[in-house]
Amino acid sequence: MTDQEIIERINSSLAEEFELDLGEMTPETTLYGDLGLDSLDTVDMVIVLEGAFGFKIREEETIREIRTLDDIHRFVINKKRQMDERA
């Protein structure tokens, strides 16, 4: 899976879960300010991403630092690379 495919999967998964417009989802888009997500939505977002990529992220400390879509993209791409290296 390429980085672009990962980004597209993240964006489409979040758009479907939170009924977001894909056109409004740029890397600079903030989760709380621009998309209006709250702390409960963050829990749902983690579950959606775990389901989309097949790995656990809720125990990751760096997940708490995510503020923008680009942060999510980079986090998942790095996590996917770590998983691929272990396989």
We report the CATH number of the domain holding residue 9 as: 1.10.1200.10
What's the pLDDT tens digit per position in 1-45?
899 999 999 999 999 999 999 998 999 999 999 999 998 998 999
How far apart (Å, rounded) are the C-alpha atoms in residues 74 and 15? Answer: 18
Query: pTM to 2 decimals?
Result: 0.89
Number of domains in the chain: 1
Residue 38's alpha-carbon distances to 41, 67, 83, in angstroms, are 5, 12, 29
Which range of residues forms the domain containing residue 65?
A: 3-85
Is pLDDT of 60 > 90? Answer: no
Is the torsion defined by CA of 23, 27, 33, 35 positive or negative?
Answer: positive
